[in-house]
Amino acid sequence: MRAEAVETKKLLYIFGVIVFGGMLLNSIIDAGIYLEYYSVEKLWEYRLFIAGGAVVYYGAVFLFYRFRITTNHGG
């Protein structure tokens, strides 16, 4: 069995989908439990926090690889 190299960029994107997608899915599935203890506004605040975190994460990964490629092309 031959081991293949894994692209780190793709791995980071998949990791982000699992983490942020799981958090968002959890807030949708358990919305009834959240609403018993908190308000609808808190639930949407949590979901917007997840979306904001995902934007920052994917932006950081994108900028990291863009900067890395442009600085390492010289040798």
61 membership: H or E segment, kind and range: helix 40-72
Q: And the tokens for 56?
A: 């920052």
Q: And the tokens for 53?
A: 């975190």
SS3 of 26-42: HHHHCHHHHHHHCCHHH
pLDDT in tens, the chain (75 residues): 666 767 888 999 999 999 999 999 999 998 888 888 888 898 899 999 999 999 999 999 999 988 876 666 554
DSSP 62: H
C-alpha to C-alpha distance for 2 and 31, rounded to whole angstroms: 45
**pTM value surpassing 0.85:** no
Handedness of CA 66, 70, 73, 75 (dihedral sign): negative
